[in-house]
Amino acid sequence: MTGKKSKRNVVLKCCLMDDDKHCKQFAGSAVYGRRIVRLITDQNLNLRLNPKARHTNMCNYHRDILQIAKIEYKRNNKKRMRSPEINMHLLTVKTLRRYKSYYNIRAGRGWNKARLVNAVEEHLKTLPINETEIINNFIHMVITNGNKLDKKE
């Protein structure tokens, strides 16, 4: 048997309760911790620590379940983090060119709108976001009715 053993050499059972039933599987080396509590809450899993368990080792089945939940959680999180889609095609060529020249994006002179849109979209994805700066610029714009980002020509 490969299960985790207690100090008294007794093979331990999984520390979790699944759907309010004690898990009867043998405990492995995976440990129930704070991160797992968060994951269980986030993913609405019907798992909790068996209050009678004197250890925090889980069985391999629950370890795998939680592993999958973690991947799922990360994937959803990435989706949430991704900026909302902006349709750059709605911008005028003039605006796209302004963006391009502000950020010194290399582009050929005769670039058509589609190529400009691509370049701007690619560049936008790489921009770090400084909220304070954005808010300050916005306030400046409202007060002065001008755009701080415009280069003085």
Q: Which residues bind Zn ion (CB under 5 A)?
A: 14, 16, 23, 25, 59, 62
Residue nearer to Zn ion on the CB measure, 26 or 99: 26
CB of 77 to Zn ion, least distance (A): 25
Instruction: Report, in Å, the least distance between residue 63 CB and Zn ion.
Output: 8
d(CA 89, CA 87): 5
Q: How far apart are CA 130 and CA 126, in angstroms?
A: 13
For Zn ion, give the closer residue by CB, 21 or 89. Answer: 21
Q: Which of 2, 38, 31 is nearest to 14 (CA)?
A: 31
Nearer to Zn ion, 23 or 119 (CB): 23
In the chain, alpha helices (H):
34-42, 60-81, 93-102, 113-126, 131-144
Nearest approach, Cβ of 23 to Zn ion (angstroms)? Answer: 3
